[in-house]
Structure 1
Amino acid sequence: MRRALLALFALTSAAPTAAEVSFSGAPFLHWPVACTLGETCVIEDYVDADPGPGQSDYACGIKSRDGHRGTDIALPSEAAMQAGVAVLAAAPGTVAAIRDGVPDRRLDDPSDVAGQECGNAVRISHETGHETLYCHLANRTLLVRPGDQVEAGTPIGRIGMSGQTNFPHLHFSVLKEGDVIDPFAPTPATTCETDRPGLWIDPPAYQRAGLFTAGFSRGVPDFADVQSGAARVAVLALDDPLVAYANSFHAEAGDVLRFAVTGPDGPVFAHSVLLQAPQAQTFRAYGKRAPAAGWPEGVYTATIRLERGERLIAVRHAYVTLR
């Protein structure tokens, strides 16, 4: 069991990227979360298809991270996580390994979860020779044990914030003989088509737009500082302005960025920005000056949503401590 768990946890390391292998079988994966894309969840990142430095998703877009080895399915808020969103077995199989007991929390220092980056997790073996891995499950919500037989759609736990994460999401990986396989594009290709045969029975539609990042700053930052990360602050003084920003990509005219900031005493401000023209990349910021008595001490959260009509395209969260 210990060896199986170590193999499970190693999947979150930044080492090899996804492999492309021949796959001639029928699609066999069902959606692994009890949510609706574009309404109650979004795909935040795909598998990194770029074998070198940098990142690329399977459609030659930028919706991934360097070395990312799975598909991240994100919830729009911690409140949604607390309400409970089930993680489901993606296909029939046998539970090969589990881990539970890792607390749910926003992670500041990755060294705090060294060896537990995947958090609470389940690994399932399937008759196709593949395995599926489900990471960052909520603490003490696992419903299966090694050796259990599951069907597609069997609840195995709930989405949480355990391991190396600071937002509620499921990190879902597919493996074959130790290699990570992109379920959207498991076979080699020289094109960027989004309708390539994959492992999904009902393939989720590809969405190239998203949010690079979100953060807090002491004032409206320069775009170059947003891109480099220099704009982000983790701590502010009680009399500092409170400014949230977001960096979007491939937004369309008519898309809306929605800012919502909450503090220890509840909502602080909400603001919406209508994007007037298509943008390969842009950023927006909004904030408020400190009240005369200063901000209440504590942790503040920014949730930024990119919406297209009634459809949720992307969501990012940011945190800052005021003291």
Structure 2
Amino acid sequence: MITFKRLIIVIFLLAVQTGVCFAQSGYGITTNPPIELILPVSCRLEENCWLVNYPDIDLTEGLKDYSNGIFTYNGNLGTEIAIQSLPQMQKGIPVVAAQDGTVVFTTNNVEDNLPLAQGINVNELPFCGNSVVLEHGMGWQTVYCHLKKGSVSVKKGDFVRKGNKIAEVGASGRAVFPHLYFTVLGDGVSFDPFTGRQLSVNEGAEGKTEMKRYKPFWSPAVKDILPYREVAVVNVGVATEDPTLDSVKEGEYQDVEIQTDANSIVLWIYGFHFQKGDFIKAVLQNPAGTKVSYEMKTINTDEREKVVFFRVLKPNDGWKAGKYKGSFEVMRPGSKLVYEYSTSFEIEESPAPVDEEALRRKEQIYKTRVRKRRSVQVLKKLYEQERLPAQFKDREELIKRLKGPAQ
């Protein structure tokens, strides 16, 4: 039986160990965040926008997101929210103020990378491209990067309310896909809004390392819609050719038409943070619900951004016209399902084959009739002018036609 004295000793030792852990990590005691943030994009998460990169909270050469996963890249200080494609960007996805604030900086004239980063060394471009910086008081700022050219609707000195539109999602600066790069700064130092952790080291008085930590910055309403994902599947679709990463991001397969005479159909899935060893399963079902194809591929290397596709050959009995369903599952080794997604599309009946010879004969007949009609019109005019050549004057049928109404 544990005595009261022993219990006090145990609690003391736990407190000391906890203090040691905080000292080793460099973070102070967690406190409430000085600002509370809403989602900085006016969109529906996992419907028309996706979290594709979290801040890297590992201050060493390694990488780690707030959930101890690797849904980030080394040294990343921001949260990246992506949209599906350039057509969606061109329609306009609003970027909004994450909290009340005053505009202290804007850029609005940097070209978007269209087509996306083709022939462009993005590392030579200014990182943010078009951007807005909001000041929230007490040294806190939020930064909004990669905005669409010409979309910034605020200017320096403006006061904006939380949720007000300030720009639109774009692909300017060092962006190879349309997205918002969102950063939280406290006295010029980046913080992770998911954990409240400071993301770089400050040298305090007498050379002591100072690291601040707060509770998460997101408002309760936002926390409820921020499910952690190990993979982000941004889009799936169908094509009649092998898709490329650029063609998918540029929206080339949004309205693809497929007919029953197609030799094959290509199912594709576009996402972020596929890992080596992942399995991606694709299933195609016909209008009757019968499986036409079942295929699985293995990811051979870690891929931050990737398109995976599956070519399905025409069945022996051909494609049936109607609605088809393509389903995808992403699984980690050990059969752990980390994402599933589906899409549906129509296969239309191919038009009846054209009889080229019949069309050619019909065209010849039409041209012959047109030539005859024009000849009669010329002869009629000559007849009326009494200039009809002698070889036509003895042709009674022709004379009757020439005396009649115009053809």
State the AA in 2 paired with 1:125.
E
CA distance in 2 between counterparts of 1:20 and 1:104 reads 39
CA distance in 2 between counterparts of 1:187 and 1:257 reads 42
Q: Which has the higher helix share?
A: 2
Name the counterpart of 1:207: 228
Q: Which has the higher contact order (CA 8 A, sep 6+)?
A: 1
Name the counterpart of 1:217: none
Residue 186 of structure 2, aligned match among 171, 176, 179 = 176
How far the C-alpha of 1:127 sits from its partner, in A, is 2.5
Unaligned runs of 5+ in 1: 1-18, 189-195, 215-219, 221-241, 259-270, 290-303, 312-323
CA distance in 1 between counterparts of 2:172 and 2:329 reads 23
Equivalent position SS for 1:33: coil
Number of residues paired by the alignment?
232
CA spacing shift, 1:52–1:33, aligned 2, 3 Å: same
Name the counterpart of 2:340: 308
2:106 paired with 1:74? no
Post-superposition Cα deviations, 1:71-90, rounded to whole Å, max 9, x if no partner, equal 00000111111111000000
Question: TM-score when scaled to structure 2?
Answer: 0.48
Name the counterpart of 2:149: 139
CA spacing shift, 1:272–1:144, aligned 2, 3 Å: farther
The RMSD of aligned alpha carbons is 4.3
Post-superposition Cα deviations, 1:147-197, rounded to whole Å, max 9, x if no partner, equal 100000110000000000110000000000111100011148xxxxxxx94
Equivalent position SS for 2:137: coil
State the AA in 2 paired with 1:50.
D
CA contact (8 A) 1:23 1:187 kept: no
Name the counterpart of 2:310: 286
CA spacing shift, 1:92–1:255, aligned 2, 3 Å: farther
Equivalent position SS for 1:82: helix
Post-superposition Cα deviations, 1:271-309, rounded to whole Å, max 9, x if no partner, equal 9977799xx9899543699xxxxxxxxxxxxxx997635
Residue 161 of structure 1, aligned match among 168, 171, 180 = 171
CA spacing shift, 1:75–1:112, aligned 2, 3 Å: closer
CA distance in 2 between counterparts of 1:177 and 1:29 reads 17
Computing the radius of gyration from Cα coordinates, the structure with the larger value is: 2
2:146 paired with 1:120? no
CA contact (8 A) 1:255 1:308 kept: no
Post-superposition Cα deviations, 1:189-228, rounded to whole Å, max 9, x if no partner, equal xxxxxxx9411112142323215999xxxxx9xxxxxxxx
CA contact (8 A) 1:138 1:160 kept: yes
CA spacing shift, 1:112–1:170, aligned 2, 3 Å: closer
2:35 paired with 1:35? no
State the AA in 2 paired with 1:248.
F
**Where in structure 2 are the equivalents of 1:1-323 lying within 5 Å?**
22-25=30-33, 28-105=36-113, 106-108=116-118, 111=121, 114=124, 116-187=126-197, 197-201=215-219, 202=221, 203=223, 204-210=225-231, 248-249=274-275, 284-286=308-310, 308-309=340-341
Unaligned runs of 5+ in 2: 1-25, 199-213, 236-241, 243-265, 285-291, 314-327, 331-338, 344-407
CA spacing shift, 1:257–1:158, aligned 2, 3 Å: farther
Question: TM-score when scaled to structure 1?
Answer: 0.60
Name the counterpart of 1:292: none
Greater Cα shift, 202-211 or 91-100: 202-211
Percent identity (aligned): 28
CA contact (8 A) 1:210 1:250 kept: no
CA distance in 2 between counterparts of 1:112 and 1:253 reads 31
CA distance in 1 between counterparts of 2:124 and 2:181 reads 17
CA contact (8 A) 2:57 2:197 kept: no
